[in-house]
Amino acid sequence: MQRVMIIGQPGSGKSTLARRLGDKTFLPVIHIDHIHWKSGWVERDRADKTRMTLEASNRPAWIFEGGHSKTWPERLARADTLIWLDLPLGLRARRVLWRTLRSYGKTRPDLPDGCPEQISLEFWSWIWRTRHSARVNMRALYDGAPADKTKYHFTSKAQVNAFLSDLGTALAVGNLGIPHR
């Protein structure tokens, strides 16, 4: 486990899982929102996002969470592990709401400086509009992943927590090929 690709819709827990995996494995974490946004919630040009995403995915080791689906094929080709967080819309919506209320006016670690949490009807509308199409695209990526990829499809918080617990055990016995510090 040297390059982990995490996909999922907003509120599925991508950033949290990436941080927790990074803490356990010491692999560097890449948040797509650091590439997608510039300070002040200014969206980066698509070509720049693609270039920056591909540069990041060419690094030797990473946990890369998030979208920019145009680059999924290249990221998947480099990844050894694919994790799809496929949690229900209701849970995801509650998480986004809670995250917004808890962090309102502050910048979360998975966002660039100068992007304080805010209430965005445009974001909520996007979550609703893409709830089916995004899932279809993630299903296609997951199902089409080559056989040499380790794949995980989680549909509940309990599955994610069990994975992290099992990972901790595997790391303790040293059988994942991840250097310990």
Q: Which domains does the chain have, with CATH numbers?
A: 3-173 (3.40.50.300)
Q: Hey, what are 55's tokens? A: 């540069």
Among candidate residues 21, 160, 36, the one with its CA nearest the CA of residue 95 = 160
d(CA 174, CA 60): 20
Q: What is the DSSP letter of 130?
A: T
Count of other CB atoms within 10 angstroms of residue 130: 15
Amino acid at 50: T
Instruction: Indicate the SS3 state at residue 83.
Output: strand
Amino acid at 162: A
d(CA 168, CA 177): 13
Per-residue confidence in pLDDT tens, the chain, 181 aa: 999 999 999 999 999 999 999 999 999 999 999 999 999 999 999 999 999 999 999 999 999 999 989 999 999 999 999 999 999 999 999 999 999 999 999 999 899 999 999 999 999 999 999 999 999 999 999 999 999 999 999 999 999 999 999 987 777 666 555 544 4
d(CA 179, CA 19): 17
Predicted structure pTM score? 0.91
